[in-house]
Structure 1
C-alpha cells in the first residue's frame, strides 16, 4: 500500500518555507545535496548517495556475437530496479511509474547519447564483441533517485576496466588482470542529470534536487542531462507547469555550473581509488 498523502499542515509548512527560500534540510532552493561515492572491491562497483537516497551501480562485460546489422559494434544494456527495500511505495515484481521513467531516462542519457564508443568494443568483426551491462539497484529513496542513479551509472562505467584481449588467428585469448592491466572503456563524454521541481504557486521558486516530500508536493519536474562542456543530452519535463524559454535557459546555466563541480569531484575520487588499486596490477 502507498503511504498516506502529506497532511495539510505539512503542505502549508513546506510552501511557507520555500516562499522564504528555506528548505526542510537547510539548503537554499538551488543547492545540491553533496553526493558521496563509495567504490567496491570490484572494478565497476559504485555506490552513490544523495543524502539518504542511495543507489548501487554495477558493470560487467561478457563476450557475445554481434547483431548482423552492426557487426563492428559492441552492445550496451541498462537495467534498473527499485525494490520495496528502497521505499514502501514500491512492490516486488511490479514496475512502478517511477521505475519505468527512470529506466527510459538512463537509457537516453547513458546509451543513446553515445556515451561509450561502441566500435571500441569489437574484438573480431561479425564474430565477437563485448556486451557491457549496467545494472542499477535503488537501495533507498529519499527523493531524486534519477540524478543519483545517473551519477552512479556514469561513474561505474568510468571505474570499470575490461580484460585485455589478444586475437591470434581464430583464437581469442582473454588475459587475466594479474598478467596484463585491464583496459578502461572508451567514453566520449560524461553526462550528469539535474532535476528541478516546480510548484503550483507562481511565487514559490523552483528547487534543485528535491527530497521525497518536495517531489511529492511538486506540480512538475524538469530533468536536464548534460556534460561539463555545456552539451545537452536529454531534457525531460514531467507535469503541467508551463515554462518560459528564458526560465529554461536559467535552469540550464545552473545545471552547467553544477556539472562542472561534480565532474571535478568525480575525477578526484576516481584518482584516489585508482591510486589505491595500482598495487594489484603491478
Structure 2
C-alpha cells in the first residue's frame, strides 16, 4: 500500500512524513546521511579516494603530469577537475558526451578549488616559466542517489590529501626534467573545504543532504562550501525559491558544523592508514 502511494503520489507521500518532521528514510530534516571514506583506492593513481554519502558513491583519481606553466602565470601549476556521470550510476543519464549536469558539477568543483585556496598553485611549479605539475582529477559517480556535489568535493579533498608527487629536478642547460619515482612528497593542503547541500520543499521546508527523489521534488537547491575557519568559500544556487537572510544564515551555520564533522572524519581515516 505504502509503495503504491509513493509511486502514485510521491509529493503527498513525502508530505505525510514532513508533517511529523522526519523523512521517508528516517532522518531528521537537518540530518546528513552516513558518510564513509576510503583513501588510496586506485593503486595506479598518484592519489585517490572513494566516498559514499548514503547510497551516492563517487571515486576520485588524481593523475599528475608534467606541463608548461600558463603564460599569464609562469609560477603556477594546474588542477583540472572532471566529473563523469555515466549511465551506470543512474538511469537519468545517457551515453555520449558529458551532459549539462556533469559539466555544471565540473565547473562547481573547479570554482571550489579556486575560491577555497585548498592549496597554492605556486606549490605545483617546478621551474618558473618552464615546468610545472598538472593534476588531472577525474571524479566518477558510481551510484547516484542525490547530492553528488557534496560527494565530489569530499572525494576530491580526500584524494588530494592522499596525493604524493615524484621528486623532479630540472636542468636549465638541457631543458630536460629528471623524475625520481622512488622519492615522493605529499601536497601541502592549506584548507579543507567541505560542501553541504540543502533543498527547499514546498517553498519553505529545508532539508539537508537530499536524496535523488527529494531533489526531483524540491522547489530549490542550495550548496554551501565552508572551511575550517568558518569562512564561506562558495555558494551554488541553480535557481528556484529565494531564501530569507535568516534562513540562509541558518544553512551556513549547519554547513560549518558539517565541515567540522567531515574534517575529523578525514583525519581519522588518514591516521588509520599511516
TM-score (norm 1): 0.89
Is the 8 Å Cα contact of residues 221 and 240 (structure 2) preserved in structure 1?
A: no
Q: Which residue of 1 aligns with 2:3?
A: none
Extract unaligned runs of 5+ from structure 1.
1-5, 276-282
Name the SS for the 1:206 alignment partner. Answer: strand
Q: 1:172 aligns with which of 169, 173, 177?
A: 177
Equivalences, count: 264
Report deviation, 1:41. 4.8
Q: Which residue of 2 aligns with 1:36?
A: 36
How many Å separate the matches in 2 of 1:128 and 1:95? 30
Q: Which residue of 2 aligns with 1:278?
A: none
1:203-218 to 2 correspondences below 5 Å: 205-218=205-218
Is the 8 Å Cα contact of residues 59 and 141 (structure 2) preserved in structure 1?
A: yes
Q: 2:125 aligns with which of 102, 119, 122?
A: 122
Report deviation, 1:60. 1.1
Q: Which residue of 1 aligns with 2:265?
A: 265
How many Å separate the matches in 2 of 1:152 and 1:201? 31
Worse-matched range after superposition: 8-17 or 125-134: 8-17
Name the SS for the 2:88 alignment partner. Answer: coil
Q: Which residue of 2 aligns with 1:191?
A: 193
Q: Which residue of 2 aligns with 1:71?
A: 74
1:84-163 to 2 correspondences below 5 Å: 84-163=87-166
Q: Which residue of 2 aligns with 1:25?
A: 25
TM-score (norm 2): 0.91
How many Å separate the matches in 2 of 1:233 and 1:201? 26
Worse-matched range after superposition: 10-19 or 77-86: 10-19
Report deviation, 1:111. 3.4
Name the SS for the 1:241 alignment partner. Answer: coil
Q: Which residue of 1 aligns with 2:249?
A: 249
Q: Which string of whole-angstrom CA distances, capped at 9 and with x for unpartnered residues, describes residues 68-119 of structure 1?
A: 2211111111111110001111011143332122111111112343322111
How many Å separate the matches in 1 of 2:97 and 2:78? 27
Q: Which string of whole-angstrom CA distances, capped at 9 and with x for unpartnered residues, describes residues 159-188 of structure 1?
A: 1110122345545321122xx3x1111222
Name the SS for the 1:95 alignment partner. Answer: coil
How many Å separate the matches in 2 of 1:188 and 1:138? 26
Q: Which residue of 2 aligns with 1:80?
A: 83
How many Å separate the matches in 2 of 1:46 and 1:259? 18
Is the 8 Å Cα contact of residues 61 and 131 (structure 1) preserved in structure 2?
A: yes
Extract unaligned runs of 5+ from structure 2.
1-5
Is the 8 Å Cα contact of residues 197 and 222 (structure 1) preserved in structure 2?
A: yes
Q: Which residue of 2 aligns with 1:9?
A: 9
Report deviation, 1:66. 1.3
How many Å separate the matches in 1 of 2:8 and 2:202? 15
How many Å separate the matches in 1 of 2:145 and 2:113? 23
